[in-house]
Chains A and B, each alone.
Chain A
Amino acid sequence: MGLTITEKILANASHNSKVAPGDVVIADVDIVMAHDSTAPLVVEGLHKIGKKVFDPKKIVIVFDHFFPPPSVDAARLHQKVRNFVTEQKIPNLFTEGVCHQILVEKFVSPGHVIVGADSHTCTEGALGAFSTGLGSTDIAGAMATGKCWFKIPESLKFDLSGSPGKGIYAKDIILEIIRQVGADGSLYKAAEFTGDYVKNASVSSRLTLCNMAVEMGAKNGIIEADGKTRIFLGRDGKILKSDRDAVYEDEYRVDVDKVEPQIACPPTVDNVKPVINVEGKAIDQAYIGTCTNGRLEDIEIATKILKGKKVADNVRLLVVPASTKVYLDAFDKGFLQEIIKSGGIICNPGCGPCVGRHEGVLAEGETCISAQNRNFSGRMGHPKAEIYLASPATVAASALAGEIVDPREHI
């Protein structure tokens, strides 16, 4: 019986020649990450453990959820984590973007085992790594020992074939998949994306697919690394492929040619409909950014729609590059200037308003269309504000119209 990529990585990391779903293994970890929202509890966990981190170079701390600090409480948490970073001589503290984008740009290699105190750590699996989200105590344990326990997950295969039509992006495809399987359709499982669509897709689009694996409950999202991955990373790694006779608990086929622009309606990510079904819904805020859709490709798509036009009155369009690198590249290409001229607001790299802590908090009764990954009640502000999730193209076209619109007529 063959093995999947996920099984091979976890077998290697746990020094087993073979593993099977259901086995519990203790694996060595290559990168351990926490951000400003979860690191404070990690610090407390480590103090309880009373040990130094196993290898400071493998620890990555990113201030992204509320940076620069919008309140005294937030500043105090940053201070607590900075003291920890100094005390433990950790060389990797970043304040220049979303944690997952920082890991992708600077740390991840194919074959790695990555654990992060953030649920969207599944994003990094798009580079052929095993990458999963954990809570603060697990991360404290991993920082102290360099190891983590995992139950080997069953794998689900998502075979994506065909070419997307005009105005259809990875976001529409992952939303369509989540519509099909539901919020717990991949609970505890590895979600492996494959097929000619995935092979042809950019690394940025692959990251969008894996980013939302946790929105269907998955332990990890994963995509086989290839030449494109190597060029994107500019570094080598251990490229592993699933065997032909690898075992999948289930297989889903998605004909990408048939996917239309999709939108997740409040209050759950699996409440997905074609955009045309909710056209005309008035919006107050439009947001392009986050670990889901804040990369150069996303900003370029939005810029093409916004260029030479004006954001509707009473709509605030927020654009937050996922990292300083994305920020500078988008600036060099003139994208940010066009967005600003159209009436958009650019905020510093980070999570932006996705978690409702700063830079665009919603009032009661307001509606936001966002390129982020979650639309739960109260996430971006008042619990009676509504959040719709869509591609950067749908968000940009809707920002111009002042209401939700199908982007295909605007491209």
Chain B
Amino acid sequence: MRVWKFGNDVNTDLITPGRYTVTTDKTKLGKIAFIEHRPEFAKEVKARDIIVAGKNFGCGSSREHAPVAIKAARISAVIAKSFARIFFRNAINIGLPLLVCDEVDRIDDGDLVEIDFQTGKIHDRTKGVVLDAKPLPDFIQKIVEKGGLVNFLRSEGYL
């Protein structure tokens, strides 16, 4: 699975500029992911590719269109040093897998990487290294296991 590498503080205007988000159509949103920041992304991305970024990924607006667009572009996971909190919640809520890893500097754009979601091991096959993701807090892990917030609320009897 190919890595698309990004830097620090990738904000939601770079992921899904506000001028393009006057829609809830997921197919349309998948096509506008990084449309101005990295125009080749939506054209070349393949199913199960991975985004790797620095700190504070997804900062800025609360627009859920950002993780929805990334998921609709068929990205299988986003790995970053840290995530902005609203983006983090949004991604977990819609079932876009996130991994937090301090060592992302060792991964480069275009590397081929595989993730074992059970163990949190990130295997960079291009570099021949294995990196560890930090485990998610227990409460968040429960939401992930249920497949997002709505299923979680239902299973806990809130709905």
Instruction: Please report A residues at the B interface, Cβ cutoff 8 Å.
Output: 24, 37-38, 40-41, 44-45, 48-49, 51, 65-66, 71, 73-74, 77, 116-119, 121, 133-138, 140-141, 144-145, 147, 149, 151, 183-184, 187-188, 217, 219, 268, 355-357, 361, 374, 376-379, 381, 383
Contact = CB atoms under 8 A, between A and B. Distances in A.
A37 B11 contact: no
A45 B159 CA distance: 13
Question: Among the interface residues B9, B18, B68, B159, which one has the most CB atoms of the partner chain A within 10 A?
Answer: B18
Interface stretch (B80-88, B108-116, B124-132): B80-88
A187 B56 contact: yes
Contact of A138 (B13, B37, B82, B90): B90
Q: How large is the interface on B (under 10, 10 to 19, 20 to 34, 35 or more residues)?
A: 35 or more
Interface in B3-24: 9, 11, 13-14, 17-19, 21-24
Contacts of B59: 183-184, 217
B60 interface: yes
Contacts of B11: 268, 374, 376
A135 B159 contact: no
B42 interface: no
Contacts of B55: 184
B79 to A, nearest CB: 17
Interface string B50-73: 000001100111111101100000
A113 B151 CA distance: 24
Given A38-B62, A187-B56, A355-B18, A141 B153 contact: yes
B137 A151 contact: yes
A255 to B, nearest CB: 28
B62 A133 contact: yes
B150 A268 contact: no
A45 B11 CA distance: 24
A356 B17 contact: yes
Contacts of A379: 13, 17-18
Contacts of B153: 49, 141, 144-145
B158 to A, nearest CB: 5
Given A41-B68, A118-B61, A183-B59, 7 more contacts: A135-B90, A137-B149, A138-B93, A187-B56, A187-B82, A357-B22, A376-B14
A44 B89 CA distance: 17
A71 B68 CA distance: 23
10 residue pairs, one from A and one from B, having the closest CB atoms: A135-B90, A135-B64, A137-B93, A376-B13, A184-B56, A355-B18, A383-B36, A119-B62, A136-B64, A378-B17
A376 B84 CA distance: 15
Contacts of B86: 119, 133-135
B36 A378 contact: yes
A137 B63 contact: no
A41 B26 CA distance: 11
6 contacts: A77-B24, A137-B150, A184-B59, A187-B56, A374-B60, A378-B14
A49 B13 contact: no
Contacts of B94: 137
A217 B88 CA distance: 12
A56 B13 CA distance: 32
A51 B153 CA distance: 12
A146 to B, nearest CB: 9
A74 to B, nearest CB: 5
Contact of A135 (B13, B19, B56, B93): B93
Contact of A66 (B13, B22, B62, B89): B22
A41 B85 contact: no
Contacts of A219: 85
B56 A183 contact: yes
A381 B82 contact: no
A66 B22 CA distance: 9
A136 B22 CA distance: 14
A41 B25 CA distance: 10
B150 A48 contact: yes
A145 B158 contact: yes
B18 to A, nearest CB: 4
B148 interface: yes
Contact of A24 (B14, B68, B84, B139): B139
